[in-house]
Amino acid sequence: MDLNQLREAAIEATARALVEKTGAVPNEESEEWEEEYRRQFVILKSRAERAPAAAAPPAPSEAPPLPELSGPPKMLRWAAELRAARLKEIRDPEIRRWLIATWTKAKSWLDTRELSTPVFLQRIEPHYRDYRRRDEERAKEEAAKKAAEEKAEEELRRQLADAGVTPENLVELVDASERHPPVPIRDKLAELAVEGRNLRLFETADPAFLMVLEKSPEGRSEYAIPRDPGLFADLELYGRAKELL
């Protein structure tokens, strides 16, 4: 261990010792902190001198790294060690996942360091139960939303089938309509793609007409067609179905 590593280790050991002793870390400029730091530095230096010259590197852990904790830098490593030790003693994987995801403050782990694992589990049980309840409620809401969407999709499919609405039929109705000069467009109704042709149909400021913007192998064209109620209803249904389906 070089001098910089020794100093960092002494700083962490000082914070740990003072938290255990007083429940807080005094200012680094205080005499109490300086005295404890010197004591920890001597202890760690002595250990380092007695350690073998070359230690075997630790075996890599198969477990994925845990997320970083938040809090004062001097407490982070100690809190991370407490968390790792605590998690090893908890058998329920769901509780471990919950703790990893939600217990992200170093102080939370330091505040419970004196609790045995059974007592710790008793303390957190109401919070975990509330989390599970809210998680189940979210799952039910998502399932209900998905069921409603599926029902709406099925209803649209039924309406399309009953009305016989297809892109080909709609293009035939557009082609059979009388063409007029372009008018200003408003909201888009539907887009049809048939045999190399692409037709985008819009409502207009004139309630008597719809606008068509067409691209085909022959080029681009713009024209208005009469707003036939039946064609308009089919285009609106097809446009809603395309957005949802």
Is 157 domain-assigned?
Answer: no
Count of structural domains, the chain: 2
User: Rounded distance, CA 130 to CA 43, Å?
Assistant: 45
Residues 123 and 168 in one domain: no
Which of 114, 131, 148 terminates a domain? The answer is 131
User: Rounded distance, CA 63 to CA 65, Å?
Assistant: 6
Residues 168 and 122 in one domain: no
Residues 73 and 124 in one domain: yes
Residues 112 and 178 in one domain: no
**Residues in contact with 87: Cβ distance below 8 Å, sequence separation at least 6, in sequence order:** 66, 96, 99, 100
Q: Which of 28, 25, 9 is nearest to 107 (CA)?
A: 25
Instruction: Kindly give the confidence (pLDDT) of every residue in the chain, 245 residues in length, as a single tens digit, with 9 standing for 90 and above.
Output: 567 677 777 777 777 777 667 666 666 677 787 887 788 778 777 777 766 554 444 444 455 688 899 998 888 989 999 999 999 999 999 999 999 999 999 999 999 999 999 999 999 999 999 999 998 999 999 999 989 988 888 888 888 888 788 899 999 999 999 999 999 999 999 999 999 999 999 999 999 999 999 999 989 999 999 999 999 999 988 888 876 55
Is 37 domain-assigned?
Answer: yes
Residues 116 and 170 in one domain: no
Which of 107, 131, 155 terminates a domain? The answer is 131
pLDDT tens figures, 97-146: 999 999 999 999 999 999 999 999 999 999 999 999 998 999 999 999 98
Is 152 domain-assigned?
Answer: no
- In this structure, the chain runs to a length of 245
User: Rounded distance, CA 218 to CA 182, Å?
Assistant: 19
User: Rounded distance, CA 94 to CA 159, Å?
Assistant: 45
User: Rounded distance, CA 84 to CA 55, Å?
Assistant: 23
Q: Determine if the pTM surpasses 0.95.
A: no
Residues 114 and 12 in one domain: yes
Domain boundaries, position 37? 3-52+63-131
Is 233 domain-assigned?
Answer: yes
Residues 7 and 126 in one domain: yes
